[in-house]
Structure formats: structure tokens, C-alpha cells
């Protein structure tokens, strides 16, 4: 597996309004809300994407339901690692399975164009292997050298 960079870090929040008080009001991070309650920014130095991810949305993304499964550790954070293309996400998922890790879902393309496979650690960390086309410089890919 060839990880190119950290795609994103998102704090998984059970109480989004309370979390926004800390991250937006107290810390002053330039997070912008979306209609669905997710707040994020690509303008936090040192991060391609930083977000506040409501637990219900993390549950939907991982398990297809708004409720986090009672038999799984509740996540605290999500971190995604970028690979070169969508096919590399599929290959990375297979590599992780061969290494003994259980994926919460195989590689799939989300509505916003990102291809991602995720696993959940025993410590409550959602780890994603991702290909987000918007984070790649298309010109450099088309004109190597």
C-alpha cells in the first residue's frame, strides 16, 4: 500500500452543537456547515480536510443506519489516508483483510466522488483508505514531468 498523504481528520461528535462551541467558537477554526450538520474546512493549516462528523452520519456511512451498533466501540475520530486512485482503495482493502483486519465496508464511491474503504479499531478509531479526486492535481497527473 502506498499512502500519499492524510486525506482528512474528523472528530466524531455525539453532540454537534456542543462540539461546535469548542472547535468553532473557542478555537476559532474556520469550519463551514453543510445542510446535513457536518462542519468542515480545507483551510486548517496542516490538514487537507478537518471536520466535525456527527455520530449518526458516521453510523450511516459505516453501517447504513443512523444508530451506531451497540455491539461496536463508539468512534471518537476518523482519519483517512489517501492513495493514488480508486483501484488502489480496493487493493488496500484487500491488503488490510489479508493482514487480519475486518473492514466495516469494502471500497465504495460516495455521492461526492470519494472512493473509500473503512475499518474500526478496538480503540474507537475509524480508519479510511481513500481516493478523493478533488485532492489530486489533475494537471500534474495528465502532464508528468
Q: What is the pLDDT of residue 34?
A: 80
Residues of the chain by 3-state class (helix, strand, coil), percent to 5: 30, 30, 40
SS3 120: strand
pLDDT for 46 equals 85
The pLDDT of residue 5 is 92
What does the pLDDT profile of the chain (145 residues) look like in tens digits?
Answer: 999 999 999 999 999 999 999 999 999 999 999 877 899 999 998 889 999 999 999 999 999 999 999 999 999 999 999 999 999 999 999 999 999 999 999 999 999 899 999 999 999 999 999 999 988 875 444 434 3
**Rounded CA separation 94/77 (Å):** 23
Amino acid at each position: 500500500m502506498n499512502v500519499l498523504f492524510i486525506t482528512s481528520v474528523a472528530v466524531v461528535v455525539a453532540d454537534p452543537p456542543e462540539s461546535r462551541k469548542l472547535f468553532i467558537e473557542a478555537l476559532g477554526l474556520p469550519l463551514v456547515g453543510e445542510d446535513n450538520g457536518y462542519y468542515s474546512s480545507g483551510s486548517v493549516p496542516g490538514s487537507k480536510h478537518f471536520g466535525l462528523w456527527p455520530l449518526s452520519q458516521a453510523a450511516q456511512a459505516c453501517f447504513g443506519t443512523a444508530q451506531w451498533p451497540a455491539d461496536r466501540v463508539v468512534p471518537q475520530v476518523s482519519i483517512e489516508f489517501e492513495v493514488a486512485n480508486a483501484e488502489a482503495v480496493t487493493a488496500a482493502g484487500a491488503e488490510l483483510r489479508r493482514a487480519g483486519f475486518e473492514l466495516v465496508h469494502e471500497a465504495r464511491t460516495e455521492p461526492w466522488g470519494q472512493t473509500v474503504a473503512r475499518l474500526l479499531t478496538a480503540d474507537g478509531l475509524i480508519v479510511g483508505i481513500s481516493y478523493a479526486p478533488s485532492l489530486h492535481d489533475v494537471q500534474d497527473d495528465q502532464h508528468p514531468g
